[in-house]
């Protein structure tokens, strides 16, 4: 069942390769670990038509139809169209919600436009493959005009929302007897149609977006270009997502959240660092777990000191891929991600480091557990790390005491997302994963042969 109060969290993690740590909350000054670790040596689709007006004239195709995989199918298996009420919501103050949220995410609220392109397309536009670049309005329009006639998807995106939607779907699975996880997100969207679109899409995914729209603001977008080798290139237009105000409404949400997740992309945006610090300080005072996502190597390098300040003073969980972890540690590309996980775990109680097809690592107290990858044929690597993070959080929130099993669950969530086109974990796959993990928690054999349409021998 969901943890009742994060101020009373007691996680007992064990594995075949590590002594079992017992985590207990203790007061501590800033700059020290949030947890004292006592070691005991005893043997975790909506089809949308977006008019060009939504993009301020930068979009040339009036009928950019996309099949959005984060939406559920109706009873007849036919994708529902987004109705007019969803796109033209009258956005008043958000509802107060439950007494406590299981997870609150602070991140960029961005609408993703995702399409398949070839290497020649990137070369023609002078875009370096596999990178993430912040662009202005004119650059965004130039790329979208070049995509005229291409088939691509529009979705309520952003790295953090990918993780939260997957976590919400795992946490609301009908195949388990656990109470539904209560998941919310705060960020900045404009009062434009794209902002309404973003909120409506998350609402249908059972994720509560709680921030009020920025009056006369513009919602940020990310163009995600995927090449046949499954590599993705991202162009981010920030819009009003470049602001995050820590007001009384957000402070109230933080105070009643068991887990607060801070998206790393926020660190590179103007005027957000102080808001992040205030949120982490209040979360710490209220006994919440604090998780930080590394998000991007270039972001870490540009905001290195700010990252380390938050990570070492507040973070209980750090999510990073191998390159991001090495950037944190200032290691070379030849150093192993296991070394980075071990190094970082001296500063953060729980560190998750993914390494693509090579597997992943979970670092605790200077040691690292290797998590082998499941069989998978990659289709689109975008969202892999986001999906992995959702599996880690789900295992912790369900009270698992086995880091190895939590890691295996996370890697399987990621494998399903990587093997499909799109970044969102589908409802039917979430049900199967949650049911399998429940069997594990009930001391039954953890299922490794879930049948899906995406991953064989899963």
Q: Tens of pLDDT along 374-390?
A: 888 777 677 788 999 99
Assess whether pLDDT exceeds 70 at residue 152.
yes
Residue % of the chain over a pLDDT of 90: 40
Q: What are phi and psi of 370, to 5 degrees?
A: -85, 130
CA distance linking residue 450 with residue 425, whole number of Å: 15
- H or E element at residue 46: strand 46-50
Q: Is the whole-model pTM more than 0.85? A: no
| pLDDT tens digits along 156-211 | 888 899 999 999 999 988 878 889 999 999 998 898 888 999 999 898 888 999 99
**Sign of the alpha-carbon torsion through 364, 368, 369, 374:** positive
- What pLDDT does 206 receive? 87
- What pLDDT does 443 receive? 57
Which residue intervals of 21-91 are DSSP H helices? 84-87
| pLDDT tens digits along 412-426 | 999 988 888 777 888
SS3 state at 148: coil
CA distance linking residue 74 with residue 76, whole number of Å: 5
Q: Residues 6 or more apart from 420 whose CB is under 8 A from it? A: 69, 379, 380, 426, 454
Domain boundaries, the chain: 9-43+45-441
- What pLDDT does 140 receive? 87
Q: Are 307 and 323 in contact (CB under 8 A)?
A: no
Q: Are 405 and 447 in contact (CB under 8 A)?
A: no
Assess whether pLDDT exceeds 50 at residue 22.
no
- What pLDDT does 50 receive? 40
**Sign of the alpha-carbon torsion through 48, 50, 55, 61:** positive
Please tell me which residue, 136 or 292, carries the higher pLDDT value: 292
- Per-residue pLDDT, averaged over 4-18, amounts to 38
- What pLDDT does 450 receive? 46
For residue 275, which of 186, 373, 158 has the smallest C-alpha distance? 186
For residue 347, which of 388, 318, 385 has the smallest C-alpha distance? 318
CA distance linking residue 312 with residue 308, whole number of Å: 6
- What pLDDT does 312 receive? 93
Tell me how many degrees the CA angle 254-260-261 measures, rounded to the nearest 5: 135
- Per-residue pLDDT, averaged over 5-24, amounts to 38
CA distance linking residue 38 with residue 351, whole number of Å: 17
Of 188-192, 303-307, 449-453, least confident by mean pLDDT is 449-453
Of 65-74, 215-224, 353-362, least confident by mean pLDDT is 65-74
| pLDDT tens digits along 323-355 | 999 999 999 989 999 999 999 999 999 999 999
- Per-residue pLDDT, averaged over 444-448, amounts to 44
Q: Residues 6 or more apart from 28 whose CB is under 8 A from it? A: 34, 36
Length of the chain counted residue by residue: 458
- Average pLDDT of every residue of the chain: 77
**Sign of the alpha-carbon torsion through 335, 338, 343, 347:** positive
**Distance of alpha carbon 246 from its chain centroid, rounded?**
21
Q: Residues 6 or more apart from 305 whose CB is under 8 A from it? A: none
Q: Considering only the top CATH level, what class is 9-43+45-441?
A: alpha beta
Structure tokens at 108: 């960029």
């Amino acid at each position: 069942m969901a943890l009742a109060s994060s101020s009373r969290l007691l996680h007992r993690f064990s594995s075949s390769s590590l002594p079992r740590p017992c985590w207990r909350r203790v007061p501590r000054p800033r700059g020290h670990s949030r947890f004292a670790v006592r070691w005991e040596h005893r043997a975790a689709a909506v089809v949308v038509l977006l008019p060009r007006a939504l993009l301020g004239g930068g979009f040339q195709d009036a009928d950019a139809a996309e099949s959005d995989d984060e939406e559920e199918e109706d009873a007849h298996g036919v994708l529902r169209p987004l109705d007019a009420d969803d796109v033209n919501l009258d956005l008043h103050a958000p509802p107060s919600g439950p007494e406590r949220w299981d997870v609150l995410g602070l991140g960029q609220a961005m609408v993703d436009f995702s399409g398949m392109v070839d290497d020649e397309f990137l070369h023609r536009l002078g875009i370096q493959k596999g990178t993430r670049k912040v662009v202005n309005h004119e650059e965004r329009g130039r790329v979208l005009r070049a995509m005229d006639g291409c088939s691509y998807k529009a979705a309520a995106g952003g790295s953090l929302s990918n993780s939260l939607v997957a976590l919400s779907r795992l946490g609301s699975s009908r195949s388990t007897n656990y109470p539904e996880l209560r998941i919310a997100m705060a960020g900045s969207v404009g009062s434009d149609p794209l902002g309404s679109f973003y909120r409506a899409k998350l609402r249908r995914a059972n994720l509560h977006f709680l921030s009020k729209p920025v009056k006369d603001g513009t919602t940020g977008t990310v163009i995600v270009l995927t090449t046949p080798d499954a590599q993705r290139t991202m162009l981010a237009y920030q819009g009003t997502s470049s602001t995050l105000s820590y007001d009384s409404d957000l402070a109230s949400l933080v105070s009643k959240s068991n887990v607060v997740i801070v998206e790393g992309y926020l660190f590179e945006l103007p005027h957000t660092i102080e808001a992040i610090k205030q949120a982490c300080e209040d979360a710490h005072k209220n006994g919440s777990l604090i998780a930080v996502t590394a998000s991007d190597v270039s972001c870490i390098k540009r905001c290195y000191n700010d990252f380390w300040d938050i990570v070492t003073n507040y973070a209980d969980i750090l999510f990073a891929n191998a390159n991001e972890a090495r950037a944190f540690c200032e290691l070379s590309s030849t150093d192993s991600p296991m070394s980075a996980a071990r190094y970082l775990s001296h500063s953060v109680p729980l560190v998750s480091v993914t390494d693509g097809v090579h597997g992943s690592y979970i670092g605790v107290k200077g040691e690292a557990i290797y998590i082998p990858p499941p069989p998978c044929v990659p289709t689109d690597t975008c969202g892999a790390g986001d999906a992995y993070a959702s599996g880690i959080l789900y295992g912790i929130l369900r009270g698992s005491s086995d880091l190895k099993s939590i890691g295996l669950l996370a890697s399987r969530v990621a494998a399903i997302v990587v093997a499909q086109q799109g970044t969102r974990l589908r409802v039917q796959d979430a049900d199967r994963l949650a049911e399998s993990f429940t069997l594990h928690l009930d001391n039954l054999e953890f299922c490794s042969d879930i049948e899906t349409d995406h991953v064989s021998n899963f």
